[in-house]
Amino acid sequence: MKSGKIEGVIAEFENPAALIDAAEKMRDSEYTRFDCHSPFPIHGMDKAMGEKRSVLGWIVAPVAFLMVLVGFLFEGWTSTIAYPLVISGKPLFSYQAYGAVAFALMVLTSAGTALFGMLALNKLPRFHHPVFYSDRFAKVTDDAFFVSIEAKDAKFDEKETVEFLKSIGGREIELLIADD
């Protein structure tokens, strides 16, 4: 049973306050690849975990500015070069009318970028995660609060990490063993 590779460790905490407290201690420790799990969002968790602001905005903004320009030029190209057509006696290059399409294209592409960028930054979709090796972990969707540390963490050590989790108040500490 204990033959598989250790992929991480989880520890249970009693309530959201204890989890926040643990998150702060994790943040101040040298561990980097840790995560907190709870049945519902906890206010202030981002700050407690030391999460930085998402870079998503900086990905969406250039896409939006680029696509509004593309939309404008694209409509200009279709109505002056590709398919010149006089509509209600207006000049071929009637830029006034392009605003709506350029705007719509900007909204569409930036919404798409925001959605797929968010998924990519969250490393989603993924079908498996080491925490699922634990049977107790199923309780996280109901009434349990967990902290997990991945074995990939540079500071991860089977014994030391378990000791560390114990020292910050973790209970029911469990090693995540592959093919368990």
Partner 1 sequence: MKFDAAAFKLTDLNSVQVRSLGIGVLGLLLTVVGYFTKTEQFFFSYLTAYLFWVSIALGALFLVLLFHLTGTVWGVTLRRILETLMKVLPYMAIFFIPVLLGAHHLYEWSHVDVVAADPILSKKTSYLNITFFAIRTAFYFTVWYLIAAKLYKTSLAMDGGAKPEHIKTLKKVSAPGMIIFALTTTFASFDWIMSLYPHWYSTIFGLYFFSGGLVGTLTLVIVIGLYMNKRGAMDSVITVEHYHDLAKFTFGFIIFWGYMGFSQYLLIWYANIPEETIFYLDRWRGTWPIITMTVVLGHFLIPFVGLLSRNSKRNYTYLKYMSIFILIMHWVDIFWLVIPVLHTSGVRFCIFDFTAMAGIGGIFMWLFWKQLGKHAAVPMGDPKFEESLKHHNP
Nearest residue to 21 via CA among 5, 2, 45 = 45
Nearest residue to 15 via CA among 169, 144, 147, 131 = 144
Does 40 help bind partner 1 (rule: CB under 8 A)?
no
Contact pick of 88, 135, 143, 159 for partner 1 (by CB under 8 A): 88
Q: What type of residue sits at position 9?
A: V
Does 3 help bind partner 1 (rule: CB under 8 A)?
no
User: What is the C-alpha to C-alpha distance for residues 26 and 45, in angstroms, rounded to an integer?
Assistant: 12
x/- mask, partner 1, residues 122-141, rule CB under 8 A, reads --------------------
What residue spans of the chain are helical by DSSP H? 16-28, 45-49, 56-77, 98-121, 158-167
**CB of 46 vs partner 1, minimal distance in Å:** 7
For partner 1, the closer CB: 100 or 108? 100
Does 57 help bind partner 1 (rule: CB under 8 A)?
yes
For partner 1, the closer CB: 110 or 134? 110
For partner 1, the closer CB: 3 or 88? 88
In the block, tokens 């997990």 appear at 148
Rounded to the nearest 10 degrees, the angle between the axes of helix 98-121 and helix 56-77 is: 150
DSSP 8-class letter at 133: G
Binding footprint of partner 1, residue count (CB under 8 A) = 10
For partner 1, the closer CB: 79 or 161? 79
List of residues contacting partner 1 (CB under 8 A): 46, 53, 57, 61, 88-89, 96-97, 99-100
